[in-house]
Structure 1
Amino acid sequence: MIYPHAGNNSIQNVSIVFDWNAELNSKEIKAIQEELHPHLEAKFPIYQLHQLIQINVGGAFSTPNNSEIGGFVYAESNTNGISNKSLNFTRQSLVVSVNEYSSWKDFLAIVELPLQHILPLIFKSRGIIGIGLQYSDLFNWRDAREEFSAASLFSPDTKFLPKNAIEHNNLWHSHHGFLSIQDSPVQFDLIENVNVNVINNNGLSVQIITSHKATLMDAIWSNNREESTITTILNNMHDSNKGIFKNLLTSEVQESIGLNK
């Protein structure tokens, strides 16, 4: 039989990404970090600055340039010392990751922090040109390896996997993406990837990575109307992800992870 990796939850990790339309410099990053710190330290008590590495071309080593800051990370760990949520801020982007996902509503509550505090600082000098959402799900096979059946997880009518993959009862992978042009709530190019891997993981496991990346035609430059634009795009990506899983998985598996609630 095949089971979600954590009871009735198959999700290992969820991440969102905001891409700036131009790189930030070290001075700007440092100023943003200092202004953000009082707002982040309570919920993300672990933090670290990233120093840029200077490569000596033609030499045999690299040396850090302590005056150059490449970004920073804020994180929170669980009782086992493992990170359960993090903010990774770089010159090009912000990545918000959650490793203990419970619901989309709770995830958006975490995302609300960068929307409220980080993005207004970005909008002083930069716009947002890209928005991304990625899920990583895992299902574990709990039976003899020779009895493995991908058909116990995937619908025979799914449009996201070839039939010969579902019928193959050993290791395999299927990776592909789809590009479309969207015009609501703003115009953007959308690429959605569905990557499935049957892997060795102390037995056989099936990893499903789904990602959605919007590249905006025009950068977002303010935090008023555009905040709802960002949230709308993320909600649409989440709904699209659910639609992919409803087509991908059997009805029994959908029920086991509460997909239709």
Structure 2
Amino acid sequence: MQRHTKPLEQYLSDVRFDAWISFKRAQAGLDIPSGELGTADFRNSLKSIEKASERVLRKALSEDSFLPKERLDWILEDERQINWLMIFIKRKINIRRYPVIANLFGRNLVIASIDYLDEELQEKARTVERMQWDWNEHQKSDRLFQWFRREDEIARCNFAWTWLVDRRDRETKGRLPFRNYKDLLMFFDELDVSYKEKKYDADSIRDNWNQIRRREKNKKIGKKQYNFELSDKTADFIDKLALKYNSSRPQIIEALVQCEFEKGLYLPEKVKRISLD
């Protein structure tokens, strides 16, 4: 791994160092410098509480605590990615004690967490490569939820929230309802479930939505849905009639019932024979 060649004074004015030292001090239970990261106020505050800041940094650099910037360029200031990476770090890297640092959040917090890892630089590089690979793989499951971002995105996401509240009470408790597609994705990002389980939820929500919309549409045009059992022989007859007349099963059944109701050619005799039997 290539060592750092950037002058020390450039590190001392670097937001990344400011984030790292804040994280390091917080983890040790020490006072946190005040002021915005990367500003003179922050560094003045740091100097007043950390007399040995240059020594601390020199030691960190000598131990190769920092990966080159290029290795971290894939980490964006993106809410969803940041949220997923922090979950990854807590679950996979086992950093669980996160203090609240008012001026450390977002991308800076992720990178500070990586810089803080107590690993050799080569191992840290492999950890970050695994993070990047897992993130890219994780995003492939987004295709399961493409249906939610099409027309009626807000309505579909609201419906998904209602469905999930009924079936995933523990995971939805204390959370705000989805506002949009991104909120829905972030919810599933946080669920420690398999691709198969995600697919089941996404498919079930979509099917339930379509079923309700179909009922509403049928109600408007004077139709009702009925569920009844038919013998295999009768079902086969209906399929053959549908194929013969290039019609759907419901159309065939409706035509037969309407014809019999209007003309009464078959049922009276059929019912009479059944009653005699």
**TM-score (normalised: structure 2):** 0.23
**TM-score (normalised: structure 1):** 0.24
Larger Rg: 1 or 2?
Answer: 2
Q: By percentage of residues, which structure has more strand?
A: 1
Q: By percentage of residues, which structure has more helix?
A: 2
